[in-house]
Chains A and B, each alone.
Chain A
Amino acid sequence: MRKSFFALVLFLFVGFGASAQKVEFEEYKLDNGLHVILHQENAAPVVTVGVMYQIGAKDEVEGRTGFAHFFEHLLFEGTENIERGKWFDIVSANGGSNNANTTQDRTYYYETFPSNKLEIGLWMESERMLHPIIEQVGVDTQNEVVKEEKRQRIDNAPYGKIIYRTGVDNHLFKKHPYGRSVIGSMDDLNAAQLEEFIDFNQQYYNPNNAVLVVAGDIDVEQTKSLINDYFGPIPNNAEPNIREDIVEPAITETRYATEYDANIQIPAYIFSYITPKSVDRDAYVLDYISSILTGGNSSRMYKRMVDQDKVALQVLAFNQANQDYGTYTMGALIKGEPDWDALKATMDDEIKKLQTELISDKEYQKLQNQFETNYVEANSSVQGIASSLATYYMLQGDANRINKQLDIYRTITKEDIKRVANEYLKPNQRVEIKYLAGSGPEEDSKQ
């Protein structure tokens, strides 16, 4: 009797855990300050080793923009024990895959391997943290690569200044470094001396400024011991990167801007707003708003502007919440001769509706269904979970937020949506950008 009761309790508990889809993990610090997060998931013999460093584009000093991203490239050049140019060969000869990325807030590197190659992953990332080789030949090589990347991804990309925000954030942020771009300036990179790159490494690439995530098919105790072996002896060369708060004054008067893009023929009208930082619940509400207005072919702005009025070829929106602030950017690609006033009136009308009327029950339910599906998909691979754990820990101060996301979305009410639309999306809180084809006059005068 007792036993079956116990089994029942256990069953209920398991059932609950399953529907909440909790990501179990363990975290601790090494003596040198390296924060470690382990997530054991033995369903498939796959393991991801990822390291995130608290160093992003916003940490760059004036005159050295693009450093953080450039450095990401430089750290694939080789280490004292990994010959220059061999990084990718080692990964592929061991059946793995790898990559890295840089944002305003942090830099992240990872490898995914069959789980019997865990030690190789730990070795590679510890090599990168302990003694990367930073020399002129690598700087020169990566300089060319980064230039090519800038050309391909930003300069030659239609609407690149919107997608990579180089023509949006500069109008929103006048004081906070978010106003600068991640890719930075080629002049700044060309001017940098080798010594500065070595200093950058000393300053930021330290265990006390990083989080190591190991996710997947691991034996926890054995993994801890390996981590201790490979990362324990790595010394710190500087204090952790503590950021001072930089307050961006709120926008209270509508700003107007014109941007030019030589890669396009169809102009766009863009509104962009400063919104709350990523830990703020209202940032989640804005995800809902973004989905209502422009998420897919059944969204409000798509139906109105593309289907019904036929004034837009496409509508777009990006809601991005970062460590210090978020931004919400929305707009339309214009069909035919632009009637700016009419377009503005239409977009304002759709925002006005959100500010004055509650969304329908059906729309509300559809949002919940879509966000729930997205959430499940986001956490279905160990590579995705590794990156989320590192991000929540480093940028939102709590790795366990990975388990709270859906709950936060679920608590959002229709009233929240109305309130947030009123609080952050007023016309005087935004920059209105006319995004035009061609190259404009101000391109010549550098700021």
Chain B
Amino acid sequence: MKKHFIYTFVALFMGLSATAQIDRTKIPESGPTPEVNLREAKEFTLKNGLTVLVATDTKFPVVNWSLNLNNPPVYEGEKAGVQSLTGALLGKETQKSTKDEFAEKVDFLGASVNINPNGGFGYCLAKYKDQVFELFAEAALQPKFTQEELDFEKEQLIEGIKSGENSAAAIASNVRSALMYGKNHAAGEIVTEETVNNVTLEDVKQFYNQRFKPSNGYMLFSGDITVKDAKKLLKTYMKDWSEGSVETPEYPSFEDVPTTEINFVDVPNAVQTELAVMSVSPLKMTDEDYYAALVANYILGGAFGSYLNMNLREQNGYTYGARSSLGTGRWYNSSFRATTKVRNEVTDSAVVETLKEIKRIKTEPVDPEMLANAKAKFLGNFILQSEDKTVAARRALTIKTNKLPEDFYKNYIANIDAVTVEDVQRVANKYFTDENARIVLVGKAADVLENVEKIEWNGKKLPIKFFDKEANPAERPETAVLPEGLTAEMVLNNYFKAIGGKEAIDNTTSLILKYEASAMGNTIISEEKKIDGKASQVLSMGGNPMMTVIMTKDQVTMNKNPLPENMASDMQMLAGLLPELNMLESDKVKLSGIEAIDGKDAYKIDVAGDVISLSYYYDVETGLKVKEVQNTNMQGRSQSQETFLKDYQAYEGLKFPNIRSGSQMGQVIEFKLIEVKINEGVSEADFD
């Protein structure tokens, strides 16, 4: 009895003191990996074949729904763009409501509604589900397509295509898929200005009528809604939606290249090379290897600490970031892609380093700690995402459309956890290749091609094929050779002669050049004032000054704020009557080559800089400056601005281009010279 008492006492005492028995010096152990609680979705099918899933969750008084018609990807051919145009018109105007009325109705209810040719979604407070679903059904089943709206959307789309015409990134995105899948494939075709212009109102109507069909589709409701509610909504507002489906077309086949090769697209204005190493990915979400493949890709290029990023960014400083992706396909195979943007001069090295990392994950077992950390971050992301209700909905849909087992996401975490070091290496060998890879480089041939042609991999020189911006085979771009003995000084002096001669320049003490342009409905005025050693530029929009830059030999200010010293010292090259006068005296100036500008050869002079470097182009024949490029390089990011100079005219014996055109904020803007003042109207006070 007594003994028993003591034991109880000891147990109590221990219980109390146990509270202090934690070891603060180490990171606490984690508990067992949690299971993500995915709500069960109830399922029923409508007469028209639409499968409906309802995931009831009354925690919040809101309802989400998402319609996925499960349409097979479409090859649009001559009318490429019809899909995106149809999407742009849907959800705006209906047979019952004007564009403004429809938007006002949705806003009033604090709701959102979106329709596209392959489905749509809606979100609202549960108590308004009837009104909002009615609006959703109205927009989905009774859309109104008008010529006026189509013309507007076509203009927008073409504007977008044009603004990407000289962008290496936009070109790369098109040609990667075109080269991989083929241009005759739904996933590889390219939307161009021409194909967009082919689209008629009739095409849009037809596209909608042919594809907005319920029989293969899924409607997923989640939130504060019951099966009964969902049935009622569909019966009340979508009862007239008759059955029909889109036939799955025969997709052209495609495969990996027999040996690793380079596909090169020349973009003469590129300051960075868009690099992609690609191969076919036969991976399906139903494959046993799926989890190991996810983890392997994560280690290779799925995160900041991955092989690719640590090599290309952290060790070599070639780029701001390098990543890889491994796709899964349902209708046809997907692709593996390791991608990055790198500085021109390191293009060849970056190709080799990327291949090395791919080879490394195939040949070297991954460090177990790296695998463990990768899994932890992977699981953490998965778990944190599971709180988002739309993710739960998306996952339920993924199970359906990929024909996955019902418990796919229940076991997801355990399956990731089960991936071993051996698994990673095994699947890396199955899904990543350095021997049958297509390396797509989109960049500036004049700067990078010579070295790219020397790349060797696995002891062999890599073959190179050339393509144009629309992925058609092309000739090797000419890289012209400079005449022997020509110097930058000679080109500059030739330029002085061309614009009016050294004497005319010497007689000039000040300049005012006023340019006008219009963009986004506004008039933009650029006024430049220059005297010896100083220059200013004021940009105003709609009468309001937007930006004022003042450059002197001492400092450079933008809107009165001094710019960082290294940037300012680069820009001081522009402080003066003509930058060329400063260039004559500078040791940063180099004649670097010949390039064709608008089909005519021009000498290129580079002005090196810490942050800002310049390239000026002087026509070989006329000696006049035809193009200016300003490259800004800050914190690993590069930006390039180009200006074309045209239509020179003499003003009091000095020639100036009447037109300066360049792209600003993604739009081509043409500045026209409206006023020239020589030796009048400028004072020192303009540069304070």
Which positions in A face B, CB cutoff 8 Å?
A: 14, 18-19, 21, 42-46, 80-81, 90, 92-97, 112-120, 122-123, 127, 156, 217, 225, 228-230, 232-233, 262-263, 265-266, 296, 298, 335-337, 362, 365-366, 369-370, 372-373, 376, 379-382, 437-439
Contact: A438 with B560, CB < 8 Å?
yes
The reply to whether B34 and A123 form a contact with Cβ atoms under 8 Å apart is no
Given A21-B60, A120-B27, the answer on whether A113 and B380 have CB atoms closer than 8 Å is yes
Binary A-proximity of B519-563 (CB < 8 A = 1, otherwise 0): 000000000000000000000001111110000000000011100
Closest to B392 in A: A44
Cβ-closest chain A residue relative to B381: A95
Task: Report the bound CA distance from A373 to B223 in whole Å.
Answer: 14
- Please choose the segment from B107-115, B202-210, B307-315, B472-480 that sits at the chain A interface, where 4 or more of its residues have CB less than 8 A away: B107-115
Most buried by B among A42, A45, A80: A45
Q: Which of B18-26, B503-511, B574-582 lies at the interface?
A: B18-26
Q: Find out whether the CB atom of A366 lies under 8 angstroms from the CB atom of B108.
A: yes
Residues of A within 8 A of B34 (CB): 45, 114-116, 217
- Contact of B125 with A by CB under 8 A: yes
Residue pair A114, B125 in contact (C-beta under 8 Å): no
Q: A95-B380, A265-B545, A381-B387 are in contact. Are A123 and B27 (CB under 8 A)?
A: yes
- Is B384 touching A336 in the complex (CB atoms < 8 A)? no
Chain B residues, CB < 8 A from A94:
27, 30, 376, 380
B389 and A380: CB pair below 8 A? yes
Complexed CA–CA distance, A81 and B104 (Å) = 57
Contacts of B237 in A (CB 8 A): none
Give every chain A residue within 8 A of B388 (Cβ-Cβ). 381
Does B110 lie within 8 Å of A114, measured CB to CB?
Answer: no
State whether A119 touches B58 (Cβ < 8 A). no
Are B61 and A376 in contact, with the CB atoms below 8 A?
yes
Q: In the docked arrangement, what's the CA distance between A14 and B24, Å?
A: 43
Tell me, yes or no, whether B192 is within 8 Å of chain A by CB: no
Task: Give the shortest distance, in Å, between A220 (CB) and chain B (any CB).
Answer: 15
Residues of A within 8 A of B110 (CB): 366, 369-370, 372-373
Most buried by B among A112, A116, A217: A116
A362 to B27, CA, bound (A): 57
A-B residue pairs, 9 tightest by C-beta: A95-B380, A45-B34, A116-B31, A373-B110, A119-B28, A369-B110, A44-B387, A114-B383, A18-B58
Instruction: Report the separation of the CA atoms of residues A180 and B487 in the bound assembly, to the nearest whole angstrom.
Output: 61
Residues of A within 8 A of B128 (CB): 369
Are A336 and B60 in contact (CB-based, < 8 A)? no
Closest residue of chain A to B109 (Cβ to Cβ) is: A369
User: Is B228 an interface position by the 8 A CB rule?
Assistant: no
Q: Which residue of B lies closest to A439 (CB)?
A: B560
Query: In whole angstroms, how far apart are the Cα atoms of A373 and B111 in the complex?
Result: 8
Given A116-B30, A380-B389, CB of A43 within 8 Å of CB of B37 = yes
Q: Scoring B residues 1 to 44 as 1 if CB is less than 8 Å from chain A, else 0, what string do you get? A: 00000000000000000011110111111111111110000000
Q: Does B261 contact A (CB under 8 A)?
A: no
A42 to B383, CA, bound (A): 12
With A45-B383, A118-B31 known as contacts, the answer to whether A93 contacts B373 (CB < 8 A) is: yes
Residues of chain B from 619 to 675 with CB closer than 8 A to chain A in the complex: none
Task: Scan B455-481; emit 1 where CB is below 8 A from any A CB, else 0.
Answer: 000000000000000000000000000
- Kindly count the residue-residue contacts between A and B in the assembled complex, taking CB atoms under 8 Å apart: 147
Q: Nearest B residue to A219 by beta-carbon distance?
A: B31
- A39 to B348 alpha-carbon distance, docked (Å): 56
* Contact between chains at A81 and B25 (CB < 8 Å): yes
**Candidates A44, A119, A335; contact of B386 at CB < 8 Å:** A44
Q: How far is the CA of A225 from the CA of B128 in the complex (A)?
A: 44
Given contacts A18-B224, A93-B373, A369-B109, contact A263 B20 (CB under 8 A): no
Instruction: Please classify the interface of chain A as helix (H, G, I), strand (E, B), loop, or mixed, using the class held by over half of its residues.
Output: mixed
Rounded to whole angstroms, the CA-CA distance of A94 and B383 in the bound complex is: 11
Give bound CA distance, A225 to B20, whole Å.
11
Which among B108, B377, B543 is the interface contact of A336 at CB below 8 angstroms? B543
Given contacts A18-B61, A45-B35, A266-B544, whether A90 and B379 have CB atoms under 8 Å apart is no
Residues of B near A156 (CB, < 8 A) are 561
Q: Please name all residues of chain B whose beta carbon is closer than 8 Å to the beta carbon of A296 when the two chains form the complex.
A: 107
Complex A-B: 6 CB contacts under 8 Å: A94-B30, A114-B380, A115-B383, A123-B24, A262-B559, A376-B125
Nearest CB of chain A from residue B424's CB, rounded to whole Å: 18
For B21, give the chain A residue with the smallest CB separation. A229
Q: Given the complex, which residues of B lie within 8 Å of A18, measured CB to CB?
A: 58-59, 61, 224
Complex formed: what's the CA distance from A265 to B24 in Å?
55
**Interface flag for B371 (CB, 8 Å):** no
Are B24 and A46 closer than 8 Å at their CB atoms? no
Alpha-carbon separation in the docked complex, A146 to B30 (Å)? 34
Contacting pair A46 B559 (CB below 8 A): no
How far is it, in angstroms, between the C-alpha of A381 and the C-alpha of B388 when the chains are bound? 8
* Cross-chain contact B377 with A229 (CB below 8 angstroms): no
| Bound-complex Cα distance A416 to B19 (A) | 53
B residues with CB within 8 A of A: 19-22, 24-37, 57-62, 104, 107-111, 124-125, 128, 224, 373, 376-381, 383-384, 386-389, 542-547, 559-561
- Measured between alpha carbons, how far is A437 from B538 in the docked complex, in Å? 14
B383 contacts across to A, CB distance below 8 A: 44-46, 95, 114-115
Residues of the B chain whose Cβ atoms lie less than 8 Å from the Cβ of A122: 28
CA distance A230 to B26 in the complex (A): 13
**Contact, CB under 8 Å: A233 / B380:** no
Q: Which residue of A lies closest to B35 (CB)?
A: A45
CA distance A92 to B377 in the complex (A): 6
Q: Which residues of B have CB within 8 Å of A373?
A: 62, 110-111, 124-125
A117 to B107, CA, bound (A): 41
Q: Report A-chain residues with C-beta under 8 Å of the C-beta of B561.
A: 156, 262-263
Max count, chain B CB within 10 A of own CB: residue among A113, A114, A115, A373 = A114
Query: Are the CB atoms of A365 and B108 closer together than 8 Å?
Result: yes
- B30: chain A residues at CB < 8 Å are 94, 116-117, 119-120
Alpha-carbon separation in the docked complex, A7 to B125 (Å):
27
Residue of A at shortest CB range from B34?
Answer: A45
In the complex, which residues of chain A have a beta carbon less than 8 angstroms from the beta carbon of B20?
A: 229, 233
> Smallest Cβ distance from A378 to chain B, in angstroms?
11
Q: Which of B33, B60, B543 contacts A337 (CB 8 A)?
A: B543
Q: Choose from A93, A232, A380 the contact partner of B376 (Cβ within 8 Å).
A: A93
A265, A296, A382: residue with the most chain B Cβ atoms closer than 10 Å: A265
Which chain B residues border A376 with CB–CB below 8 Å?
60-62, 125
Complex Cα gap A97–B377 (Å): 10
A71: min CB distance to chain B, Å: 22
B residues in contact with A21, CB < 8 Å: 59-61
**Cβ contact within 8 Å between A95 and B376:** yes
A329 CB to nearest B CB, Å: 23
A46 touches B125 (CB 8 A): no
The answer for the CA separation of A116 and B376 in the assembled complex, in Å, is 11
A44, A262, A369, A381: the one contacting B560 at CB < 8 Å is A262
Residue of B nearest to A296 (CB): B107
Name the residue of chain B whose CB is nearest to the CB of A112: B384
What is the CA–CA distance of A217 and B31 in the complex, to the nearest angstrom?
13
B109-A46 in contact (CB<8A)? no
Give me 11 other A-B pairs in contact (C-beta within 8 A), A18-B224, A376-B62 excluded. A44-B383, A46-B386, A95-B376, A95-B380, A119-B29, A156-B561, A229-B21, A233-B20, A262-B559, A263-B561, A336-B542
A232, A262, A265: the one within 8 Å of B544 (CB):
A265
Contact across chains for B36 and A44 when beta carbons are under 8 A apart: yes
| Chain B residues whose CB sits within 8 angstroms of the CB of A263 once the complex forms | 559, 561
Write out the residue numbers on chain A whose beta carbons fall within 8 Å of the beta carbon of B107. Answer: 296, 298, 366
List chain B residues, Cβ under 8 A from A123: 24, 27-28
Chain B residues within 8 Å of A96, by CB: 380, 384
Tell whether, in the assembled complex, residue B22 and residue A265 are in contact, meaning their CB atoms are under 8 Å apart: no
A residues near B58, Cβ cutoff 8 Å? 14, 18
- Give the nearest-CB partner of B388 in chain A: A381
- Contact: A229 with B22, CB < 8 Å? yes
CA–CA, A438 and B560, complex, Å? 7
Q: What separation, in Å, do the CA atoms of A113 and B376 have in the docked complex?
A: 11
Given contacts A225-B19, A266-B544, A438-B560, contact A45 B37 (CB under 8 A): yes
